[in-house]
């Protein structure tokens, strides 16, 4: 009789422990899913530096991003040849989770150049690639923007 009571007590303790463990794991998984579903907020001013080509000075680029649902709008400003800033509207912008993408079409001397930006948002940083064509040749560069007008 005593043996049966010990077995029952042991089985009860193990069962209760398993129930608590499953409850804890379920709660941890729910918290993890909430964090995954939380969207990064890219709204605001971002800046980065493009290295100058062929001995030219580096260029500071500034993007002012606005978000409406999953749509990204705003402008990208970069220095022009004569020293003033050229602001260009963002096209085809979207944000999904922590991924962002948008295009900028610049016109110069009757020619248009499209630069496609893609990146991953992490806090106050966006890291990604920009793709464009030069003389019919597809090119890409890494870009890293930080929130704010510094850098």
Enter the pTM of the model: 0.69
Say what the pLDDT of residue 42 is: 92
User: Is residue 27 predicted with pLDDT exceeding 90?
Assistant: no
Same domain, 92 and 70: yes
User: 90 and 28: one domain?
Assistant: no
Q: Which domain holds residue 95?
A: 44-147
Check residue 150 and report its DSSP letter: -
Between 8 and 96, where is the model more confident? Answer: 96
User: Are residues 79 and 11 part of one domain?
Assistant: no
* Per-residue model confidence (pLDDT) at position 70: 92
Whether residue 16 has pLDDT greater than 80: no
| 80 and 130 share one domain | yes
Q: Say if residue 96 is in the same domain as residue 62.
A: yes
pLDDT at 151: 46
Mean pLDDT across 59-87? 89
User: Could you tell me which residues are beta bridge partners of residue 15?
Assistant: none
Assign 4 a pLDDT band (cuts: 50, 70, 90).
low
CATH number for the domain that contains residue 85: 2.40.128.30
Query: How many separate domains does the chain show?
Result: 2
Are 40 and 144 in contact, with CB atoms under 8 Å apart? no
Q: What are phi and psi of 109, to 5 degrees?
A: 55, 40
Share of the chain above pLDDT 70, in %: 72
Could you read off the pLDDT of 28-46 as tens digits, one per residue?
555 554 444 456 889 999 9
Same domain for 33 and 69?
Answer: no
């Amino acid at each position: 009789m005593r043996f049966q009571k010990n077995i029952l007590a042991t089985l009860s303790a193990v069962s209760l422990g398993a129930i608590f463990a499953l409850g804890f794991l379920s709660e941890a998984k729910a918290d993890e899913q909430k964090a995954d579903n939380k969207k990064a907020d890219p709204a605001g001013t971002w800046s980065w530096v493009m290295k100058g080509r062929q001995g030219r000075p580096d260029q500071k680029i500034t993007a002012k991003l606005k978000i409406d649902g999953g749509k990204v709008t705003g402008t990208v400003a970069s220095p022009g040849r004569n020293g003033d800033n050229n602001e260009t509207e963002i096209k085809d912008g979207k944000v999904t989770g922590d991924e962002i993408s948008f295009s900028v079409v610049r016109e110069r001397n009757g020619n248009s150049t499209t630069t496609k930006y893609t990146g991953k948002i992490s806090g106050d940083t966006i890291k990604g690639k920009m793709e464009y064509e030069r003389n019919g040749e597809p090119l890409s560069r890494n870009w890293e923007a930080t929130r704010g007008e510094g850098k």
